[in-house]
Amino acid sequence: MTETPKQKRKLSRRDFLVLTGVAGGLYFGVTLGVLPFARLKLAEYLDEAGGPPMTVDAVPLAWFEIGTDNLVKIYIPKVEMGQGIHTTLAQAAADELDVPWEDVSVLNVGTGKGLDDPVGTSASNSTSSLFPVLRQAGATVREMLRFEGAKLLGLAAESVSAENGFVTATQDAGKKVSYGEIVGAVKEWVVPEKLPALKKSTDFKYIGKAMPRVDLLDKVLGKTQFGFDVRVENMAYGAVATPPRLGAMIKSASAGEAATMPGVIKVVIEDDFVGVVAERREQAWAALSAVQIEWSEVKVWEQAEIEALVQVGNGRGVTVQTEGDAEGHLRGSVLEAEYYTPMVFHAHMEPQSAAADVRAESATVWASTQSPVSVRGAVAKAIGLEAEQVTAIPTFLGGGFGQKINNIPAVQAARLSKAAGQAVHLGYRRTEDFQNGYIRPPSRSVLRAAVNKNGLIEAIEHKQASGQVAFPFFPVFVSKVMGADFGAYRGAQIRYGVPHKRVDAWLADLPFKTGWWRGLGMLANLFAIESFMDELAVSVGMDPFLFRLANLPLDELGGRMKKVLEATREKSGWDTPAPEGRARGMALAMDVGTLVGCVAEVSVKNKEIRVHKLTGVVDAGMFVNPNGAASQMEGGMNMALSSALFEETQVKNGALSPTNFGAYKFLNNSASPEIVVELLESGDEPLGMGEPPLGPVAPAVANAVFALTGQRLRRLPLKLA
Amino acid sequence: MDLSINGKLYQVEDSPNRTLLWVLRDELGLTGTKFGCGVGICGSCTIQIDGVATRSCLTMLSQVEGKQIRTLEGLATENPDGSLQLHPVQEAFIELQVHQCGYCMSGQIMQAAALLDENPAPSEEEIIAGMDRNLCRCGAYPRIRKAVARAAEIAAGG
Ligand code: FES
Ligand code: FES
């Protein structure tokens, strides 16, 4: 599949909004003109994922404030959940503004401040979408400061420069005025007709450098406010009943003893909702278990029934990719294999949480959310206010991984607050967190291919089935129009250079909520495709590295894939023998334009798979913060390894199981391998880094296990027979 | 009853069956200590009681009467000139840029600080063993290990 060349839209002066503050200071917003840009970005993403274009009601994407004290505040609508975006975006703005690093801070703001971001913080798009915008905004403000600074110095604009927070006479370094002094003095600003050029990469001070994270001092001191930490005036604590079985609804409920239990402020019983508000969290929990609830009788689902629902050819299907005539070339002797990936929880360390203060005419919601705009809308609807009457304030997130796109706890907190007439904090216990959300759906892939004796794939077919991923978050008509779910088939396309290829996807209707999980369908699909590539290589007796190399497409993407593969081979010592008792496996992933190559080095003891080392090579265009990118690689590869080795959610006795950490095992420190990372640049624009590192790990491990034991494991988590 | 937390005395209602974690967080506003699982598995709620790393989600108020409690908020100290003196573990976690979301890190830092008090120069194996029950969903383990080793160096004057 060839990459569509990226259209670049240049910002113009009409994209900017300038205001002066009452007490001096310059406020500079990147405004409406950004809308087409945001749309373009979204369209690009949906295009890659195969989704529909959608209407975006977006307004300013970023907002600066330069104070008379020289301090620069950058407000952005993207939340920090560990990906380091506050830092990378500060680097973009500070570099072009040319201000000292210490003078910059980044804040994210709630809705209603002109920063309503329709996309939310997802799809690894934060850096790639805002980076060019913030650079242009920074460069423009710097030019305006230079112009006004020259006037204040009584000099021509050509004879001053703007650097490091000062406008200085080129001939006389002693003659200077600080940015703060300039914004204090100037009342009327003019945005230049022709926007200034951006810095050359050789002039970068912060971009491309390992700048320290802006949020870490607060984090090591315990000062950062996560959603679970929100405390507001006169706040009580809530608890909400969770159905004991999938699909169960409240038939009837009575407060019983709960109403008179210690600390109880209100027992809330509504049609579809039962909760308690109390002075303390533990009191709310105790009272909730005393409320008598009769749940509707429902079918008691078991795991085997769920897996049977996820079948290629079952339910609604759609063709995702087709070139040539795959079917016609897949007659006779072909290789076929089937792969399965299970449901998993997100298990973000901070359970979902929100606080709400609902008044007669307005409401404020603080939420650990990836999407404040959708929180605002959902809360408004639930409590009968207009969206404009609701302010949604995102906090720092203790991990999100896609789960925190949902509005469930925010809506529940608002309902409790409305009923109790005071502010309420709702923080899920882990068991509630596991039951209340959209988990990663199960997925099945069936691949078939014909390979000639030179090791070239002549035809390949990928049939994929999965539960919903993106549909729950779109209007119903989208799912009707689209057929299968574009989130589920993210990563399902065949990127190799094969003349005949076809990819089809089917959507399974499941009796529980499934949705976004870091990378959406990417991990599942790449596990299947990249394991299958290994099987094909083995079938013709070729080295898996050389086999991939032989089957690259002959375009720009193929060139990048080749570089990544070669670097992966080099860095991992692919051509040298693995240490005694170990073997290596390789895989290559592409996601949101980013390429990641991976080699896993494994051993097996008592049927237990041990991964000693993961080598990851990533080409993400350019790296705004190489240390941050390395950190995303380490964390993302570890999270994928956790999926590969340990994680599985099952349906047991009609409910999701297990119900807490421990029984739900995920990667711990001693299981974390040595991780070696290499960053490869291939351009001057950053691509996504949040999700792509998850792509190649599971197949690399499975391929290594095959090389070591001869057992081909086609199901996650990997377990030896 | 009185609780001694980070060198200060706090008065809380005398109900011995309350869980220390929620008293710290909800009643006293010391939200640096985190809740992750409530069942002693994840270590997000790790604090120190008389210098020993302890899971506050499994600790009852009755168990801490008269003991010295330390939370993340009390780990850094003040220099004579009033400036902030980070604990070597805090310094090392910043130096190595360990945090991703950072939610598990209060627990990791408190665990690491207790580990180094007991064993000022741990080997890599000892670090892994000592930190193994503190989970990090963001997968920052490689940096956690390096940072604990680095903190030992800093504490030793390096
Ligand atoms: S919250 Fe205490 S160990 Fe998880
Ligand atoms: S940094 Fe996010 S859980 Fe450890």
CA distance A701 to A498: 25
Set of chain B residues whose Cβ sits within 8 Å of the Cβ of A663: none
The confidence band for A434, taking pLDDT boundaries of 50, 70 and 90, is very high
Distance A404 CA to ligand 1 centre (A): 21
| pLDDT recorded at residue B59 | 97
Contact A635 B132 (CB under 8 A): no
Q: Which of A406, A114, A646, A668 is nearest to B104 (CA)?
A: A668
Residues A178-222: pLDDT tens digits?
Answer: 999 998 888 888 888 888 999 999 999 999 999 999 889 999 999
Look at A647 and A407; give whichever has higher pLDDT. A647
Residues B102 and B110: beta-carbon distance below 8 Å: no
| pLDDT recorded at residue A84 | 83
CA distance B100 to B86: 19
- From the candidates A346, A668, A676, A689, which should be mutated to test the interface with B, based on the most B CB atoms within 10 A? A668
Residues A580-596: pLDDT tens digits?
Answer: 999 999 999 998 889 99
For B77-155, CATH gives 1.10.150.120
Measured from the alpha carbon of residue A347, the closest ligand is 2
| pLDDT recorded at residue A11 | 62
| pLDDT recorded at residue A132 | 82
Residues A394-405: pLDDT tens digits?
Answer: 899 999 898 888
Can you tell me the mean pLDDT for A286-306? 97
Residues A687 and A594: beta-carbon distance below 8 Å: yes
Contact B102 A82 (CB under 8 A): yes
Beta-carbon contacts of residue A18 (< 8 Å; ≥ 6 apart): A26, A27, A28, A29, A189, A191
Rg (CA), chain A: 27
Measured from the alpha carbon of residue A661, the closest ligand is 1
For A310-344+439-709, CATH gives 3.30.365.10
| pLDDT recorded at residue A20 | 58
Q: What is the ipTM of this complex?
A: 0.97
The confidence band for A74, taking pLDDT boundaries of 50, 70 and 90, is confident
Chosen CATH of A227-297+352-427 out of 3.40.640.10, 3.40.50.2300, 3.30.200.20, 3.30.365.10? 3.30.365.10
List, run by run, the mean pLDDT of 10-residue segments along chain B (158 residues): 95 89 97 98 98 97 95 96 96 97 97 98 98 98 98 94
Residue of A nearest to B101 (CA): A82
Set of chain B residues whose Cβ sits within 8 Å of the Cβ of A401: 137
Q: Which of A589, A606, A615 is nearest to A531 (CA)?
A: A589
Contact A627 B76 (CB under 8 A): no
Residues A457-485: pLDDT tens digits?
Answer: 999 999 999 998 877 777 666 666 677 77
* CATH 3.10.20.30 holds for B2-74: yes
All CATH 3.30.365.10 domain ranges in chain A, comma separated: 13-17+54-219, 227-297+352-427, 310-344+439-709
Distance A431 CA to ligand 1 centre (A): 13
Give percent of chain A with pLDDT exceeding 70: 87
| pLDDT recorded at residue A51 | 31
| pLDDT recorded at residue A695 | 97
Residues A518-558: pLDDT tens digits?
Answer: 988 999 999 999 999 999 999 999 999 999 999 999 999 99
Residues A661 and A433: beta-carbon distance below 8 Å: no
Nearest to B42 among A217, A349, A667 (CB): A349
| pLDDT recorded at residue B37 | 97
Domain ranges of chain B: 2-74, 77-155
- Mean pLDDT of chain A, nearest integer: 88
| pLDDT recorded at residue A470 | 76
Contact A220 B86 (CB under 8 A): yes
The confidence band for A3, taking pLDDT boundaries of 50, 70 and 90, is very low
Set of chain A residues whose Cβ sits within 8 Å of the Cβ of B70: none
Chosen CATH of A13-17+54-219 out of 3.30.365.10, 3.30.420.40, 3.20.20.70, 3.40.190.10? 3.30.365.10
pTM: 0.92
Can you tell me the mean pLDDT for A377-402? 92
